[in-house]
Chain A
Amino acid sequence: MRRRLPLLLTVFAVGLIAWGIAHGEVQEVWRKAVTICLSCVGIG
């Protein structure tokens, strides 16, 4: 089991990505990334 940890972690990460895509998280990443957040860069 321990020897296979690298593979298991990769599979788990792919599972998280798939969950995020299925639940609309990608769109939320895009929505935040396409707006300039002035307070996030210390302005305002």
Chain B
Amino acid sequence: MERLRRFSQYLAALVGNSYWLFPWKAPIYQGPIKRVCFPGLNCYSCPAASMACPLGSIQNFFASFRVNLHAGIFHPGFYVIGSMGLIGSVIGRMPCGWICPFGLIQEWLNRVPLPRIRLWRPLMWLRYLFLVLFVVLMPLFVVDSLGYGSTWFCKLICPAGTLEAGLPLIWLEKGLRAAVGWLFAWKLFVLLLIIFWSMVTSRPFCRVICPLGLFFGLFNRTSWLKLNFLADRCVGCKACARVCPTGVSFFDGTDDINGTTCIRCLRCVSICPAGSVKAEFGPVMGKDYHGKEIGVGHPQ
């Protein structure tokens, strides 16, 4: 299972960044596939990116919403919300564990042999702030004199954009180096912070910051794919908690197995020696051994 997941991560990273003609032809891919939103954090300003970043796209819709509305065009970004909602409604947060290139990068970094620092769990509430404030409210309401907003999450936070687009563009276009200022210095600081944090804590960006991961995660309780923990089979070996990349601890009742943090890597399913964790798939809510609907648990 873990090999399959790794293969899926590498394949997705290659498919999402398959335009390798950028040094010779156009500096960025401009073909028809860029109409499709990539189900992961993958900056579309990256020279090799072949698809659109859903987070950048939705911020663009919100940023130009007022001006469009003034011109009689109603474009709230339903295409992007629907695309991500379709994926989330079927597999929940699984793209984070199986597709997202930035998740893969964090997993690489976490292999560096350094002392581990456990994540202070209240920090995970910040995800809601990043989603609501930086992705929705600021692009809608912090606007210039013409009424245009900005892609504030990309501009101020997104380390994937700095790594996949900012740095390669500066490297490729010498003329851009003069335009680098305090904003890029700030973004570089955020990127370095995330890089170092990823070395000592597993997937900190996914757990504390990522608005896209949170959006997918909100579907975990109601998606077709759900995890079912059969508590009466559990032998309490804690293997599931040890292998979980996002620190979900469901065996002792601390967390909901279908909470927003689970990235559906399915490591717990394959490692459990007693078979007490099951992945189930279907368009209606299943029921566990006690007749309770799977997915209905305490919030996380």
- Given A12-B85, A17-B83, A28-B61, also A34-B28 (CB < 8 A): yes
Q: Which residues of B contact A44 (CB under 8 A)?
A: 179, 181, 183
Cβ–Cβ contact A33 & B57, under 8 A: yes
Cβ–Cβ contact A36 & B27, under 8 A: yes
Tell me how many residues of A have a C-beta within 8 Å of chain B.
39
- B9-17, B98-106, B218-226, B266-274: which lies at the A interface? B218-226
Q: Which residues of B contact A13 (CB under 8 A)?
A: 81-83, 85-86, 88-89
**Assembly CA distance A3 to B51 (angstroms):** 34
When C-beta atoms are compared, the residue in chain A nearest to B286 turns out to be A3
When C-beta atoms are compared, the residue in chain B nearest to A39 turns out to be B155
Q: Which residues of B contact A43 (CB under 8 A)?
A: 166, 169-170, 176, 179-180, 183-184
Tell me how many residues of B have a C-beta within 8 Å of chain A.
60
How far in angstroms is the closest Cβ of chain B from A1?
11
- Given A32-B60, A33-B34, also A20-B79 (CB < 8 A): yes
Cβ–Cβ contact B78 & A33, under 8 A: no
**Assembly CA distance A25 to B75 (angstroms):** 7
Cβ–Cβ contact A41 & B43, under 8 A: yes
Cβ–Cβ contact B89 & A40, under 8 A: no
**Assembly CA distance A9 to B161 (angstroms):** 30
Cβ–Cβ contact B293 & A36, under 8 A: no
**Assembly CA distance A36 to B47 (angstroms):** 9
- Which residues of A pack against B, CB within 8 Å? 2-7, 9-10, 12-21, 23-30, 32-44
